[in-house]
Amino acid sequence: MTATVAKQRPRRTARVRPRVLEIVWLTLVWVLLWGTFTPLSIVGGVVVAVAVIGAFRFPPAEAHLPLRPLRLVGLVGYLAYDVVVSGAEVSWQTLRYGPAARGAVFEVPLLSSSDRVVTVIANALSLSPGAMALQIDHAHGLWFVYALGPRDEAGVERSRRRTMDMQRRVLAALGTPEELAAAERLLAEGGR
C-alpha cells in the first residue's frame, strides 16, 4: 500500500508543480496589468489565474527544449539586426511605391515538429517588419508566409531563403539535434 502511495506522490507533484508555476506567472501578469502591488490585486490575480487554468485545461508540455545559450544570444542578435534591416526595407518599399507596393505569399517547409519551436519560429518571423506567418500546416509539413516587397520570382526566392534561414537559426538555438541536421540537409539541397 505504501509503495502505491509513494509512486503516486511523484506523479502528482509532477502534475501540480507546472500548474503552480502557471498560477504564479498569471498572477504576476495580472498584477502588472493593474499596475498595483496590493494584497487585493494579488488575491484577485490568484483567483483569475486559477479560473483561467481551470477553464482552459492545456495538455502537459512536451519534454524540455534543448537550450544552447550561445546560439540563443546569436539568435537575439540576429533578430535585432533583422528588425533594423527589415524596417529599412519596408520604409523604402513604402516611400518608393506607396500604395503600389507588392507582397507575396509563398510556402516554406516546416522544419520542426515541436509546437513550441514552431511558435518561436513564427513569432521570430513576424517580429520582422514586412513578414508574417499566415498559416501553419502540420499535416503537410508546410507553412505559408507573407512578405512585403518581392516584385519578381527572384525577390520571392530571396524572401523564401530568408525565412528558411530564420527557421535554421531558431532550430540551432532551441531545436533537437535531429531537426537541426534535417534543416541543414534541406538548406544544402536548396530548401525545397
Which grid cell is 161? 531563403
Tell me if 118 is assigned to some domain. yes
Domain boundary among 55, 84, 99: 55
Q: Are residues 172 and 86 part of one domain?
A: yes
CATH number for the domain harbouring residue 129: 3.30.70
Task: Report pLDDT for 47.
Answer: 94
Q: How many independent structural domains does the chain possess?
A: 2
Tell me if 60 is assigned to some domain. no
Alpha-carbon distance 59 to 50, whole Å?
16
Tell me if 64 is assigned to some domain. no
Tell me if 30 is assigned to some domain. yes
Q: Are residues 184 and 90 part of one domain?
A: yes
Domain boundary among 55, 80, 100: 55
Q: Are residues 178 and 115 part of one domain?
A: yes
Q: Are residues 84 and 47 part of one domain?
A: no
Q: What global pTM score does this model have?
A: 0.65
Alpha-carbon distance 176 to 24, whole Å?
29
Q: Are residues 77 and 50 part of one domain?
A: no
Q: Are residues 177 and 109 part of one domain?
A: yes
Contact (CB, 8 A) for 127 and 92: no
Alpha-carbon distance 106 to 118, whole Å?
17
Can you list the pairs that 128-135 forms with residues at least 24 positions away whose Cβ atoms lie under 8 Å?
128/79, 128/82, 128/83, 128/86, 128/166, 129/83, 129/86, 129/87, 129/89, 129/90, 130/86, 130/89, 130/90, 130/93, 131/86, 131/159, 131/162, 131/163, 134/105
Contact (CB, 8 A) for 103 and 129: no
Tell me if 62 is assigned to some domain. no
Residue 116 domain boundaries: 69-188
Q: Are residues 175 and 88 part of one domain?
A: yes
Q: Are residues 99 and 19 part of one domain?
A: no
Q: Are residues 21 and 92 part of one domain?
A: no
Tally Cβ neighbours within 10 Å of residue 8.
10
Alpha-carbon distance 27 to 37, whole Å?
11
Alpha-carbon distance 144 to 138, whole Å?
11
Q: Are residues 171 and 121 part of one domain?
A: yes
pLDDT in tens, the chain (192 residues): 555 555 555 554 555 556 788 888 889 888 888 888 888 989 999 999 899 888 877 666 556 677 788 999 999 999 999 999 999 998 998 899 888 888 899 999 988 888 888 888 999 988 888 899 999 988 898 999 999 888 889 988 998 989 888 888 998 888 888 888 887 887 777 655
Q: Are residues 103 and 9 part of one domain?
A: no
Q: Are residues 105 and 21 part of one domain?
A: no
